[in-house]
Amino acid sequence: MAFTQPALDLLPRHPILIGDRRAEAGGGAIHDHIYPATGQITRSLQLGNADDVDAAVKAARAALPGWRALAGDKRRDLMFRAAALFEQTMMELATLSVIENGSIMRAAPFVAVDAAQKFRYFGGWADKIQGCTVPTWGGPAHDYVAYEPYGVVGAIVPWNGPLFAATMVLAPALAAGNCIVLKAPELAPWAVMRLGELLLEAGFPAGVINVVAGGADVGAAMVAHPGIDKIQFVGSGATAKTVLRNAAETLKPCGLELGGKSAVIVFADADLQEAARRGLSGGVSANGQGCVNGTRLLVQRPIYEQYLQMLGAMAAHVLVGDPFDKTVVLGPVISLPALHRIAGMIDAAKANGARVVAGGTRLEGDHAEGYFLPLTILADVSPDDHIAREEIFGPVLTVTPFDSEEEAIAIANDSDFGLGGYIHTQNLRRAHHVASQLDAGQIQVNASGEAMTPCVPFGGMKQSGYGRLGGEAGLHEFLRIKNVYVNLTPPAVA
């Protein structure tokens, strides 16, 4: 089987975008980007460094007075124009997404549609940011609350869904009147680099959006920079702890959208066919590399074996292969180290007694040069097993039986994470009760992705982070509150 050769001429050539200046090289290390489906280098790019971050911050601060003073309807119109551009370049952005991290082409165009939806939704908020008046005590006075942008927001986004995460941050931040310094992840830089160019093409003033492709050193420089007023980080919990430690030096506020270990609870009264189909999606969505994917399946004992049979039968039809083939459902994981890490977790689980229902070993043959694992389903996994407690970030589902509603809730909540939760039941009382008891930021009932729209708040609890992106709450993540008290007591008469 011959894999489709990526259209490398589409790859952006400017890892540095500062103001309206595009640079083909930053001051940092040279990075060889690898296409996960073949293990081959796509292009080498010279990443940015702390000096590039400093220049980007200066450009953003220079643009800030004009941008925050721009009338809300003007910001709205620019965001609508950007949304239209995202739609016009949908297939280009989709292709970049496939090349950079192995996303499958049958799903990749959604990232541009999603970006357009976010910019339209939050663009609609740009001219509706309102304060309020506050009743005063004592003498005559006028007291009001105003919402203002933070200033310059540093956005650090991950490789698994860089365009999705970047627009989740940029849309509300820009609508609120902030300027942006955006780090493009070195493992998947292309779509974020193109995003910066598209915003300039849409008419955003130079300096409002700045992009620096880079590694951990660029992220650290952003967090430490005194000219950045807030950090919005999307990524792993381990990196987030480093971000917080570094941010403490300047007491810089940080928003954190981190990983998860989302439980999928399947009760005996569920529509089993639908619950199996949706349960399977946690292992294939984003090639199993989604932070909110439901990868920890808890199944009520009376239907446990029947559900496993359904999962196994469906898994046999999950086509793995060339991400550009629109019949392919599952592409590669991001890198060889990631592949080895995931395979090690699977082997350890098997050694601990997990039963392999599907998959379990790296694909060879035509897939040998890429980073491919089949959809892997492990049954009879103890809730205490490492693979049931730590984020796998690969196409692996663990399945554990439970008996009672209370036991399911206890197992689901016995986790360091709290990003998402999924419930399958036809009992409305149970759905609401269990949802109220789960320690997670987003609960979906008889669903598996429909809730990820721009108008709903998204974020986690516990080690899945804090703050919300999406909805009105997401807008307010990028606004500071100011109180103004005006004393109206008449001057004393001499």
Phi and psi angles of residue 407, each rounded to the nearest 5 degrees, phi first:
-65, -40
| Contact (Cβ atoms closer than 8 angstroms) between residue 391 and residue 465 | no
The residue behind tokens 């003073």 is 69
Active site residues: 257
Where in 110-169 does DSSP place strands (E)? 132-134, 141-149, 152-156
| Contact (Cβ atoms closer than 8 angstroms) between residue 402 and residue 299 | yes
Alpha-helical segments (H) within 366-482: 386-389, 405-413, 428-437, 471-476
Contacts of 486 (CB under 8 A, 6+ apart): 141, 142, 143
The Cα–Cα gap between 74 and 231 comes to: 25
Element (H, E) at 461: strand 461-462
- Taking every pair of Cα atoms in the chain, the longest distance, rounded to a whole number of angstroms, is 97
Closest CA to 318 of 415, 399, 396, 240: 396
The Cα–Cα gap between 216 and 222 comes to: 10
The DSSP letter of residue 425 is -
Closest CA to 222 of 57, 73, 466, 391: 57
Phi and psi angles of residue 123, each rounded to the nearest 5 degrees, phi first:
-60, -35
